[in-house]
Amino acid sequence: MKISIGADHAGFEYKKLLIEWLKTQEHQILDFGAFSTDSVDYPDYAYPTAEAVAAGIADYGIVICGTGIGVSITANKVAGVRAAVCCNAELAKFAREHNNANVLALGARFIDFELAKSIVKTFIESEFQGGRHMIRIEKIHNLTGI
């Protein structure tokens, strides 16, 4: 699977560790930064990460900041992106099954790394259920024509 990933300074460490872990599972990673813990602005990293998903260059995106909130708001500005902040694996499962989320947002300051891994694993292994959920997603997209 191709996965784009981006983080601000608060998410940098988890991004680095997630990349190492995902590579051991043969996933291809597109790393959009940031590349240190120096203070940066999360939109500069979350937006291109999400754009890669919308462009079909990546299957899924992962965006990380301190809370997951800033990066999710940013990612959802990209047409065709459905970003969900998930703080446990069950939410990640529903984000995929019901919302067909294609970008996962994580708050590094609120979850430990083992939990972050289980959220990512559940997200990428869960399948969209379609049916009534598809109708709802189409309604979201029809709101803005995207």
Q: Which residues bind to ligand RB5, rule: CB under 6 A?
A: 8, 10, 42, 65-67, 69-70
Residue nearest to ligand RB5 (CB): 70
Nearer to ligand RB5, 18 or 27 (CB): 18
Report residue 127 as tokens. 């399948």
Give the catalytic positions in this structure: 65, 98
Nearer to ligand RB5, 63 or 100 (CB): 63
Closer residue to ligand RB5, CB minimum distance, 53 or 68: 68
Closest approach, Cβ 9 to ligand RB5, in A, equals 7
- Among 78, 59, 70, smallest CA distance to 123 is for 59
What is the smallest separation between the CB atom of 41 and ligand RB5, expressed in angstroms? 9
- State how far the Cα of 73 lies from the Cα of 140, in Å rounded to an integer: 15
For residue 64, give the 3-state DSSP assignment.
strand
Asked whether the CA dihedral 137, 110, 53, 1 is positive or negative, the reply is negative
Min dist. Cβ of residue 72 to ligand RB5 (A)? 8
Beta sheet of 28-31, edge-to-edge order? 28-31, 2-7, 60-65, 103-107, 83-85
